[in-house]
Every structure is written in structure tokens, then in C-alpha cells.
Structure 1
Amino acid sequence: MDKAYKESYRKLGLNIAFYRKDRGLTQMQLAELLDIDRSHMSAIELATVGVSLDVIFKMCNILSVSPKDLFDFRS
């Protein structure tokens, strides 16, 4: 992950966590639906790793949100 985008990854992680919790899912449940490890799910939300578009698109389907929703960073 390019450090220049660290803040954007942080905001993305916050949005993912928001929508995950809003849908009543735990990190473990979302990770299982995404077919990734729970620790990887945590790392995505904490912005310690990057995330592929494949995972983003699948996550959007699971959470019933658009990619725009996940990338709509609030100030």
C-alpha cells in the first residue's frame, strides 16, 4: 500500500466497518462471506493492508451498497 493513500484507506476502512455493522454482521461473518480470513478483514478495516477490487465488488454485493458508498469519504 502506498503511504500517500494511507488516509484514504483509513476512511475506506471506516466506511466498510460502518456498513458491516449497519447490516448486523461481525468481521468474522463478513470475512466468511468474502472467503477471506477474519484477520485480513480486520486489517482492511484498520487500513494496514490494501484491498483488491474483486473483494470490494463482492463486499458491495454482500452489503447491498455501491462502490461509491464505500468511497464516499466524509470530512
Structure 2
Amino acid sequence: MSNFETTRKNLAPSDATLQITQVRSVIGSKPQHVETLRSLGLRGIGKVVTRTADPVTVGMVNAVSHLVKVEEVD
């Protein structure tokens, strides 16, 4: 299992499944970042969602990489 760092900006689309965990609060964040987390299905610190690494998801994760931790799931 590969671990992606929180600040990783070069996550690329693939067939992999990603486990996305919110690790920072959205308080004080830009409204676009808040909406991006909501679109990913994250609603609070410690919440986890599993999504495929399609281009849309990867783009959203890269936009809020400072608020989430991403791990590749086998």
C-alpha cells in the first residue's frame, strides 16, 4: 500500500482506489475548498471516503491536498 503525503500535488488518474481522509478543518478556508470537500463526501475531520482515481476525483484531491490525506487501497 502506498501512502501519499498530504501536500502531494502530482497525484495522477489511474485505476486505483483512493482512501481520502479529511485531516484539517475547513474553518478559514476558501469557499471553493469547502465545496470541494463536500463534493468528495467529506463532512468533518477524521471522516473517510473511498473513491476511484478518475480525473475528476484526482483534480478535487489536488485542489484540497492541504486538507486531506490520501492513501491507495488495494
TM-score by length of 2: 0.33
The structure with more helix, counted as a fraction of residues = 1
* Bigger RCO of structures 1 and 2 (CA < 8 A, at least 6 apart): 2
